[in-house]
Structure 1
Amino acid sequence: MPDQPRSDITSSERRSFDRLVNFTDAVVAIGITLQLLPIIDVAGPKSGESVWDVVAANSGQLFAFVLSFVVVIFMWAAHNRVFNTMRCYDGTIFRLNVAWLLLIVFLPWPTAMYGEAANDAVAGRGGLGLLYWWTLAAISGLGVWMAIHARRHVDLLAVDERDREDDRDTRGLVRGYVLFGSFVIVGLVSILQPSWAPLVFLGAFPAVAVANRLVSRRNDKHMGTKQEAGT
């Protein structure tokens, strides 16, 4: 059963939570910076080459960097939305957050290896794709876990967030579930058909849109039923 909410928290709990948020943001910033380092080492065009030749020769690395950058920003935004509803944390949130941050700073390594893979066969048989996509899956899964834990332990939530009825939370969880499942599936595809992996991942975006639409329709129908019952 959900915890019974306390009326207030101590000043030390408030400061501790603020420090956790600031520390998390700093580590994410470091993780994003580490993503850029392999790109900095890419040599410029040689004699007779154009910048587009360099881009083409390093397209895999550039793709992995851009994808990881976008995904990390997206997951940080989701993480931020969860923490914006909270006023303090418990041991479970702390441990989940530490694991989430560990994977954020670990991600640049599989990103660099996956991007540097010379061909699809290397990326598939060497397991680089599986490591890369399943690292993203683990980051997504931990984010969903934190969101669920916070909602089940209302003592962690800000007072004005406890009774709020909003489908944004549901849509956020749905996005997390879809992305987690997509990363797991794409990781398996990267072993069987490595060249298909990025294309399969693109299917996650329309899947998220469809899932959000279904959630909104269900919530609208539920609200309509409640209003009819109230009258």
Structure 2
Amino acid sequence: MAVAKDSGPGESLAVREHEDGTVGEETHPTPAAERMLLFTDAVVAIAITLLALELPLPQGHTNSELWHSATEDRRDYQAFLISFAVVWAHWSSHRRMFRAVRRLDGVLSGINGLWLLMVVLIPFAMKVLAPDGAFQARFGFFAVIQTLAALLFGLMAWHIPRAGLAGAGAPPGIFSDALERSIAIAACFAVSVPVSLTGDWAYLCWGAAPIATRLVSRSRSRSRSRA
């Protein structure tokens, strides 16, 4: 919920109730920050769209032939679903954090560009991972992309408050929480690379990533409650 409020000449503030129930004032994003957010959203949307356009089309003149063709390409469909979910998760985290960003500098713009590079590489990395053979190399490539994406996102979360780029009404702990969650995700994917030498057990490290982020969120919630 947002309510307009006069704040003086040349500045427009709004009183906003955040998702955690706190209320604060926030300035509107500068044109440069808005353009970066629009560009980021466009790049992610294009990346997701290209995922669907590259899906193989099932072939066949009968129901049986069509189904058989689809099952032969099941790895491509699985890769699409996983890539879609991963890209969506990255974009959702970016959207949630950048709602509190009101200004832009060259450092944040550069880090955001590198983060976007990792995001658009995710569909390609998933296609590399899908085929059989050379499991460690394929798995490691995908894991490194995810590790770098998480670290770059964490770097943005670290830089924004220190450079004074957030609005006055930013939710408490939003950047420190994003930083800790990013470190947890990066650690899970980084550890999975050496674990991949033992085989498919490395996938358990990926499965641990959402558990780790949830534990981080709960720990921060408890800390705020005690405070």
Name the TM tier (shorter chain): 0.7 to 0.9
- Give unpaired runs (5+ residues) of structure 1: 1-6, 224-231
Taking a change above 3 Å as real, the CA distance of residues 106 and 215 of structure 1, as seen in their structure-2 partners, is same
Specify the alignment match of 1:177 in structure 2.
183
Paired-residue identity, %: 26
User: Which one of the candidate residues 54, 61, 67 is aligned to 2:76?
Assistant: 61
Specify the alignment match of 2:32 in structure 1.
16
Amino acid at match of 1:203: A
1:1-231 aligned at under 5 Å gives the runs 14-39=30-55, 41-44=56-59, 48-49=64-65, 51=67, 53-54=68-69, 56-115=71-130, 117=131, 119=132, 121-124=133-136, 127-154=137-164, 156-161=165-170, 164=171, 166-190=172-196, 192-221=197-226, 223=227
RMSD: 2.6
Please, what TM-score do these two structures have when normalized by structure 1? 0.75
On the 8 A contact 1:88/1:157 being kept in 2, the answer is: yes
On the 8 A contact 2:140/2:193 being kept in 1, the answer is: yes
- The structure 1 segments of at least 4 consecutive aligned residues displaced by more than 6 Å after TM superposition are none
Please, what TM-score do these two structures have when normalized by structure 2? 0.77
Instruction: State the number of aligned residues.
Output: 201
- Give unpaired runs (5+ residues) of structure 2: 1-8, 12-28
Question: Which is helix-richer, 1 or 2?
Answer: 1
On the 8 A contact 1:132/1:187 being kept in 2, the answer is: no
On the 8 A contact 1:35/1:111 being kept in 2, the answer is: no
CA distance in 2, matches of 1:139, 1:148: 14
Amino acid at match of 2:81: V
Amino acid at match of 1:114: L
Taking a change above 3 Å as real, the CA distance of residues 55 and 188 of structure 1, as seen in their structure-2 partners, is farther
Following superposition, the deviation at residue 46 of structure 1 comes to 7.3
On the 8 A contact 2:189/2:205 being kept in 1, the answer is: no
